[in-house]
Amino acid sequence: MRFFRKTNIDFMGKRHLWYTVSGIVILVGMISFFVKGPHYGIDFLGGTEIVVTFQDAVPISTVRAAMDKIGIGKTAEIMTFGSDKDILIRTSTQGEGSSIGDLIRGGLKQEFPSNPFVVQKEDKIGPKIGAELRLNAIYAVFALLIAIMVYIGFRFKFVYGIGAVASLFHDVLVTLGLVSLFDGVLNLELSQNMVAAFLTLVGLSVNDTVVIFDRIRENQKIFRNMDLITVINKSLNETLSRTIITSGTVFTVLLVLFFFGGEVNRGFSFTLLIGITTGTYSSIYIASAIVVEWALRINRKAAQHK
Amino acid sequence: MSNYKGKLVLIGIAVALALWLLWPTYRDYQISSQLKQLSGTDSLQFVEKHETQIREYKAKRIKLGLDLQGGMRVVLEVNVVKMLEDLAKNKDDVFTQVMNEVAEEVKHSEDSPVKILRAKFEARNIRLSRYYGSLRDDNDKVASSLEDESKKAIDRAMEIVSNRVNQYGVSEPTIQKLGGQRIIVDLPGVSKESEVRQLLQGTALLEFKLLKDPEVANKVMYAIDQHLASIDTTGDLATLPSDTSAQALAADTMAAATDTGAAATSVDSTKINTPEGELTPSEFAKKHPFFSLAMSIQQYPGVAIVEQQNRDRVRRLLDREDVQRLIPSDMEFLWSAKPDERLTSGGKKYFILYPVKKAAELTGGVIVNARATIDPSFNRPIVEMEMNSEGAREWARITGANINKRIAVVLDNSVFSAPNVINKITGGRSQIEGMDNIDEARLLEIVLKAGALPAPVEIIEQRSVGPSLGEDSIRGGVFSGLLATALVVVFMAFYYRVAGGVADVALVFFVLFLLAALAAFQATLTLPGIAGIILTLAVAVDANVLIYERIREELATGKTMRAALDTGYKRAWTAIFDSNLTVLITGVILYQYGTGPVQGFALTLIIGILASMFSAIFITRVMFNMLLDRFLTVIDIG
């Protein structure tokens, strides 16, 4: 059974079109990101977050009224968490120990005396930790990008390292933008789990890029006289089958996680779904394309010197 | 002829090892389900019979993270600045000021508090030995001994916290140090959160603080009251006293505070008679926003009485920056730990707000013993405390110098009692009163005995997950895992035929080894960890896909099955190696920078990559060789 018989698509020929597409997607995403602002969860802002399950469904407006009464209505985020009986309340107001949590629970008891609730989850993060986690997340992303650039520059040629890191940057920006866009439809606030998702998508994207680079490296050794663009196109076509199958498998697995993995995993799997798609795309149209552009520049320089 | 026999033995050993590692998890699961079906004395007997077994299985099984089994995680941070404050002697105003500056700077700086303290004193040309150590010690010596103390403080804090947690009886708690100043406490299965919070938050920083003289205290409270009235144009701050008795108290407040001696009397329930004339309750509240909440009465001079429901409001008023500026820097307000037993007008509960001298006269580090008992003369529960010789000496000096003044016994910034000093106390024995019943006294005894912490400990992070969310998460995770695996298995069989089947069998081994490795490393499985397993499943499949696509290509060029197999594996290896290594690097970095659940994810990622390489490459190869040798000449690879 084959999905693809021998293909001969001119990937690199159409690359300028795809540069534009990428540019537009990133632009739209970044506009959303800067207009809406980054939606930090309490991991990064500090504060208190509590998830409760009521016996009967409650309208969010009433919950907000209850929160107004205890004084945090203006800063509190209130949303459903799965079903409409599960309510998530989050506020960045700080209090001693668990006083905000107590305050919220007391307020809810007063507002809904005949509708008992169970606390599913309660988190309280002090302000110092929030700032630290934010810093750590940024360090982690940079550490990863540098490590990857070094490793690939070392195993292949330096320009491949640049290409790989450029494609990763692209992936992070696209995903960040789309996450910001869809935030509201789903609970996509930036938390530690989300950072893990971003770092994972970087890893998976590089995984994909490396397989293609490996094939290019091999073909270059075999077809020494072929020009680089042809070699790259050939390699892309040869690896197409594997790329689609593997990405498809990961995508399917993530889809399963998205639908059945529980509310906690939803943001995580959504991010990765976007990530794996752009990761596959960027291996071709960013990473390999950069190598092509570089090769063209070298050619032009060589032609000038002649 | 490949010597796959040797390799088969190797695989056999690996499988046996894996099963052995996973056996405790399986047995523990069995026992738990059995226990759920028994009840009462039956279950107790069962537990007794199998006690050692149960403990062993629990220790060696795969640990579930708090997000899967429910429980609470608390991150505590040692407040070194407070410790430095308490260690000092001869504290004066300059000292207090410097400490305030140090406290502020510590919030923003990465430097150790001791370093900052030293810099500030040196900038003022003051020797550290003025407040620490002996007079002849130079700054280097003092600084290094202070650094030493702060390092020891965190170690002692860890000991004390473990002590308390163990005494309390949580099953399988985990207590770890994090960095230089933090402790992580994991308490699985804890449902009585409020008690645990009390236990941990009750960090038993015991201090003895002098109460400020009533004149001073009243002046400050009056200033606060007037200030709030003057800025409060919209009347927002005004809170009405809720009933007549409270109004009467409020009226007393005015008399006490302005010290006119004019006993204001409540004329009727609608008006309050004050030195300023008759006021309605709302007018009164508007003119005296502070006193209408924090009332001052003649029977309790120098302190304020606050209704339970108004405590938060008063707290917030006191926290305001403009109000803070009105409070002298050597003074602070502390709340009573409990409502006052004697004030119960109209069925309401009243807390007492004590104005105390900020710097403690003595700290609890000098307590050597504590005992909960019933005071025979008044028949109420008390805790007797015994001090060491140094403490006894200091205590004698302090009580001697402050006869007829009040000293507050402060536990974690709550005042337990504030008795009058009747005479000098030598011999170092004291009592804490104010508990409702003997159980409370016993809890206090544990807290005191397990040690007074050398430095107070703050809760900077606290997460708790209820058990039902945990169960849901497990169910969701397991279901997703099974479904994902099923889809992958079916796909591989369809697309790669027999070879796909081989890959599927290898997948089973992969999962087995992965779980066994988790058990071996005593790793904790979290919900992101389950996501990690599912992800590495896909990566495992990728390795197979790389190999198989290569084999197909080689076959297309006309090679024999065996030759194609050989080349396929060889050529695919570099791609697998490089790509898996980058995911591995990702996992390592995630592990370094992440905490808790993220680390769980990173660990499963790392272990998963390694296990997947083993099963996707080694095991499939052996299987192929076996098949070609024994059963088939050609393997259908689709």
Tell me which chain B residue has its CA closest to the CA of residue A249: B538
Going along chain B from its start, the domains and CATH numbers come out as 1-61 (no CATH), 75-204+460-464 (no CATH), 209-357 (no CATH), 362-449 (3.30.1360.200), 466-630 (1.20.1640.10)
Q: Which amino acid is at B572?
A: A
Set of chain A residues whose Cβ sits within 8 Å of the Cβ of B107: 128
Q: Report CA-CA distances (Å) from B110 to A109, B114, B617.
A: 42, 12, 48
Do A207 and A66 fall into the same domain?
Answer: no
Query: Is the per-residue pLDDT at A140 higher than 80?
Result: yes
Percent over 70 (pLDDT), chain A: 98
A257/B107 CB distance under 8 A: no
Query: With the C-alpha atoms ordered B256, B260, B261, B267, is the resulting torsion angle positive or negative?
Result: negative
- Identify the residue whose tokens are 């073909």: A219
Parallel/antiparallel/unpaired status of strands B331-336 and B350-357: antiparallel
* Mean pLDDT value across chain B: 78
Domain that holds residue A121: 47-125
CA dist., res. B462 & res. A48, Å (int): 9
Report chain A residues whose CB lies below 8 A from the CB of B592.
140, 143
- Number of CB atoms found within 10 A of residue B545's CB: 25
B488/A249 touch (CB, cutoff 8 Å), yes or no: yes
Domain of residue A220, CATH code: 1.20.1640.10
Pairwise CA distance, residues B531 & A254, whole Å = 9
Q: Compute the distance between CA of residue A134 and CA of residue B478 in angstroms, rounded to an integer.
A: 31
**B333-357 average pLDDT score:** 81
Residue A179 near residue A28 (C-beta atoms within 8 A): no
Same domain, A251 and A282: yes
Residue B475, SS3?
helix
- Dihedral through CA B149, CA B150, CA B156, CA B157, nearest 10? 150
Domain C-terminal end among A78, A103, A125: A125
Contacts of A250 in chain B (CB under 8 A): 535, 538-539, 542
Residues A121 and A149 in one domain: no
Residue B168: predicted pLDDT? 60
Q: What is the pLDDT of residue B75?
A: 85
User: What's the rounded Cα separation, in Å, for the pair A189 and A39?
Assistant: 5
pLDDT surpasses 60 at B259: no
Percent of residues in chain B assigned helix, strand, coil, to nearest 5 = 60, 15, 25
All residues of chain A having their beta carbon less than 8 Å from the beta carbon of residue B575 are 210-211, 214-215
Length of chain B: 638
- In the block, tokens 């930790």 appear at A129
pLDDT for A251:
92
Question: Please, which pLDDT band fits residue A173 given cuts at 50, 70 and 90?
Answer: very high
Span A71-125, pLDDT tens digits: 777 778 888 887 778 888 888 877 766 678 878 888 888 888 888 888 888 888 8
- Residue B234 pLDDT exceeds 60: no
* Alpha-carbon gap, residue A16 to A289, rounded angstroms: 9
Position B207 scores a pLDDT of 80
Q: Is residue A2 part of a domain?
A: no
Using the 3D structure, point to which of A125, A147, A162 is the last residue of a domain: A125
Quick one: pLDDT at residue B141? Answer: 83
Q: Which of A53, A199, A261 is facing B476, going by the closest CB pair?
A: A261
Residue A1 lies in a domain: no
**Tell me, what's the pLDDT at A168?**
92
Place of tokens 């369809």: B494
Q: Please state the domain count of chain A.
A: 2
Alpha-carbon distance A207 to nearest alpha carbon in chain B (angstroms): 4
Mean pLDDT, range B135-139, rounded to an integer: 78
Whether residue B317 is predicted with pLDDT greater than 70 in this model: the reply is: yes
Mean pLDDT, chain A, whole residue set: 85
Question: Is residue A156 in some structural domain?
Answer: yes
Instruction: Give me the DSSP letters along B586-627.
Output: HHHHHHHH--THHHHHHHHHHHHHHHHHIIIIIIHHHHHHHH
The answer, yes or no, to whether residue A248 has pLDDT greater than 80, is yes
Q: Which of A190, A255, A162, A211 is nearest to A40 (CA)?
A: A190
Option in A121, A211, A257 nearest B534 (CB)? A257
SS3 label, residue B501:
helix
DSSP B419: -
Rounded to an integer, what distance in angstroms lies between the CA atom of residue A233 and that of residue B607? 35
DSSP, collapsed to helix, strand or coil, labels residue B445 as: helix
Does A78 share its domain with A152? no
Q: Alpha-carbon distance B420 to B403, whole Å?
A: 8
For the ranges A40-44, A120-124, B540-544, the maximum mean pLDDT occurs at B540-544
Same domain, yes or no, for A121 and A138? no
Task: Flag whether pLDDT at A278 surpasses 60.
Answer: yes
Number of H helices, E strands in chain B: 21, 20
Least Cα distance to A41 among A162, A194, A180, A169 occurs for: A194
pLDDT one-digit tens code per residue, B89-128? 777 888 888 888 888 887 766 677 888 888 888 888 888 7
Which chain A residues have a beta carbon less than 8 Å from that of B78?
Answer: none
Quick one: pLDDT at residue B356? 92
Residue B577 main-chain phi, psi, to 5 deg: -60, -55
Measure A181 CA to nearest chain B CA, in Å.
24
pTM for this predicted structure:
0.69
The string over A14-31, giving b where at least 16 C-beta atoms fall within 10 Å of a residue's C-beta and e elsewhere, is: ebeebeeebeebbeebee
Which residue, among B542, B544, B521, B547, has the nearest Cα to B604 in the 3D structure? B521
**CB of B353 closer than 8 Å to CB of B294:** yes
| A181 and A282 part of one domain | yes
- For tokens 């071996």, name the residue: B520
What strands, in cross-sheet order, belong to the sheet with B362-363? B294-297, B300-307, B350-357, B331-336, B414-417, B407-411, B206-210, B362-363
- Report the percentage of chain A scoring pLDDT > 90: 14
Per the domain annotation, does A52 fall within a domain? Answer: yes
B143 CB burial (10 A radius; 0-12, 13-18, 19+): buried
SS (H, E, C) chain A: CCCCCCCCCCCHHHHHHHHHHHHHHHHHHHHHHHHHCCCECHHHHCEEEEEEEECCCCCHHHHHHHHHHCCCCCCCEEEEECEEEEEEEEECCCCCCCHHHHHHHHHHHHHCCCCCEEEEEEEEECHHHHHHHHHHHHHHHHHHHHHHHHHHHHHCCHHHHHHHHHHHHHHHHHHHHHHHHHECCECCCECHHHHHHHHHHHHHHHHHHHHHHHHHHHHHHHCCCCCHHHHHHHHHHHHHHHHHHHHHHHHHHHHHHHHHCCHHHHHHHHHHHHHHHHHHHHHHHHHHHHHHHHHHHHHHHHHHHC
Residue A3 lies in a domain: no
Residue A7 lies in a domain: no
Q: In the prediction, which pLDDT does A273 show?
A: 93
Looking at the predicted structure, is the pLDDT value of residue B258 above 70? no
Confidence of residue B262 (pLDDT cuts 50, 70, 90): very low
Is the model's pLDDT at B583 over the cut of 90?
A: no
Closest CA in chain A for residue B530: A261
Which range has the worst mean pLDDT, A96-105, B43-52, B485-494, B599-608?
B43-52
Give the mean model confidence (pLDDT) for residues A31-36: 88
Instruction: Please tell me the total number of residues recorded for chain A in this structure.
Output: 306
* Among the listed residues A200, A199, A180, A202, the one whose alpha carbon sits nearest the alpha carbon of residue A189: A180
A285 inside domain = yes
Kindly indicate the confidence band of residue B201, based on its pLDDT and cuts at 50, 70 and 90: low
A190 with A288, same domain? yes
Contacts of A1 in chain B (CB under 8 A): 494-495, 497, 638
Residue A31 one-letter amino acid? I
- Least CB–CB distance from B585: residue in A139, A147, A250: A147
SS (H, E, C) B251-288: HHHHHHHHCCCCCCCEEECCEEEECCEEECHHHHHHHC
Whether residues A126 and B459 touch (CB distance < 8 A) is answered with yes
Q: How many CB atoms lie within 10 A of CB A94?
A: 16
Confidence band, pLDDT 50/70/90 cuts, at residue B274: low
Q: Which of B173, B291, B279, B188 is nearest to B239 (CA)?
A: B291
Give first-to-last CA distance, chain B, whole Å: 25
Cross-chain Cβ contact A140/B582 below 8 Å: no
Cα–Cα distance, A210 to A207 (Å, whole number): 5
Residues A185 and A301 in one domain: yes
Tokens of B549: 């696509």
Is the pLDDT reported for residue B400 higher than 90?
A: no
**CB within 8 Å of B76: residues ≥ 6 apart:** B157, B161, B182, B183, B184, B185, B200, B203, B457, B458, B459, B460
Least confident of A153-162, B55-64, B113-122, B487-496: B55-64
Check which CATH number belongs to the domain holding A78 and give it.
3.30.70.3400
The residue out of A75, A107, A125 marking a domain boundary is A125
Mean pLDDT of A181-193: 82
Distances (CA, A) of B2 to A180, A224, A275, B619, B629: 56, 35, 42, 14, 8
Question: CA angle at residue B395 from B389 to B400, to 5 degrees?
Answer: 130
| Position B614 confidence tier, pLDDT thresholds 50, 70, 90 | confident
Q: How confident is the model at residue B242 (pLDDT cuts 50, 70, 90)?
A: very low
Judge if A194 and A293 occupy the same domain: yes
Nearest to B418 by CA among B429, B403, B428, B433: B433
The answer on A245 and A115 residing in a single domain is no
pLDDT digits (tens, 9 = 90+) for B23-41: 888 888 888 777 777 776 6
Q: Are residues A154 and A290 in the same domain?
A: yes
Does residue A4 lie within any of the structural domains? no
Q: Which residue has the higher pLDDT, B324 or B443?
A: B324
CB-based contact B536:B605 (threshold 8 Å): yes
**Residues A164 and A87 placed together within one structural domain of the fold:** no
Separation of alpha carbons B173 and B166, rounded Å = 8
CB contact under 8 A, A238 and B553: yes
Residues B409, B432: Cα–Cα separation, whole Å: 7
Looking at residue B447, its pLDDT comes to 61
For residues A232 and A216, the answer to whether their CB atoms sit within 8 Å is yes
B328 versus B130: the higher-pLDDT residue is: B328
Is the predicted pLDDT of residue B330 greater than 80, yes or no? yes
- Do A48 and A70 form a contact (C-beta atoms < 8 A)? no
